Amino acid sequence: MFKNLFPVGKQNVLDDYIMLVIHYAMIKLHLIGMARFHRGLNKELVLKLIQSFTKVVDHNSLYLSRVYELLKENEFTTISYMAILINN
């Protein structure tokens, strides 16, 4: 996730921040699901999730760009919406 050197990415700072929040929210969502399924979390499960997430999502450039475009089309790319994604 930090291989993109936030905040010195290819886009402007807000777009880079939005991508960071998307990564965070998706990992958090999956961790919540895994914690419920396994009735808790441990280091191995967290590492496995992050490794699997990176293989599937980060290696598919269209997936994250599509998530970003959907947020942008629906006007959810403001700081206030990013705060909601982080806090929930």
pLDDT at 3: 58
What pTM was estimated for this model as a whole?
A: 0.79
Task: List, for residues 46-57, the tens digit of each pLDDT value.
Answer: 999 999 998 888
Task: List, for residues 6-49, the tens digit of each pLDDT value.
Answer: 555 566 888 888 988 998 999 999 999 999 999 999 999 999 99
pLDDT at 42: 94
* Cα–Cα distance measured from residue 65 to residue 62, given in angstroms and rounded to the nearest whole number: 5
Residue 21 and residue 82 in contact, taking contact as beta carbons nearer than 8 Å? yes
pLDDT at 6: 56
Closest-CA residue to 46 (of 57, 32, 63) = 32
